[in-house]
Amino acid sequence: MTLDNITLITTSPQMTLDIGKALAALIRVGDLIGLEGDLGAGKTVLTQGIAEGLGAPEPATSPSFVIAHTYRGRIKLVHVDLYRLSSMQASELGLEDYLADSAGVVEWAERLTGLEPDLWIKFAFDAAETDKRRLALQAISPRGEILLTAVAQAPS
């Protein structure tokens, strides 16, 4: 199923944080956001915005050594990073169990098998400017479409 797409241009880490905060305003238990893009593209920065927007007391950091971190804000957020793995079954991660009481964000989501995120965000560098990123958002489910609409309408 392919629903709406939008592309956002961010020109600073702060703008990417704010996109994360816009997502946090609507995110709920069971939502899964997949992030794809090369190292340094901004996946963790966006996740920090989501965690901060949810009111998590500690800043999000890349869970490269432990695969998953959990933040507790308005709702729980599980942050998965598959950077060190070539592929991972959602069931091996217990991701569906996490999603019973948390929302989820997965970095390197193209390596996740067995579970499709509601919203997919592909980060691309802009060759011309070091701080510019192109974020292609695609809703995969009706839930993803609601999240995408919220981000598209967020002030920038």
Chain residues in the site for ligand ADP (CB under 6 A): 10-13, 15-16, 37, 39-45, 62, 107, 131, 133
- Could you count the other beta carbons within 10 Å of the beta carbon of residue 59? 11
Q: Which residue has the tokens 């067995």?
A: 114
Report in angstroms how near the CB of residue 14 gets to Mg ion at its nearest. 17
Distance of CA 24 to the CA centre of its chain: 10
Q: Report the distance separating Cα 18 and Cα 78, nearest Å.
A: 19
Contact 74, 101 (CB under 8 A): no
Which partner from the list ligand ADP, Mg ion, none does 102 bind, CB cut-off 5 to 8 Å by kind?
none
Radius of gyration of the chain (CA): 14
Name which position in 10, 16, 44, 102 contacts Mg ion (CB under 5 A): 44
**Count of helices and strands (H, E) across the chain:** 5, 9
69 in contact with Mg ion (CB under 5 A): no
Cβ proximity to ligand ADP: between 44 and 138 the closer is 44
Report in angstroms how near the CB of residue 100 gets to ligand ADP at its nearest. 26
List the x/- string, 125-154, binding to Mg ion by CB under 5 A. Answer: ------------------------------
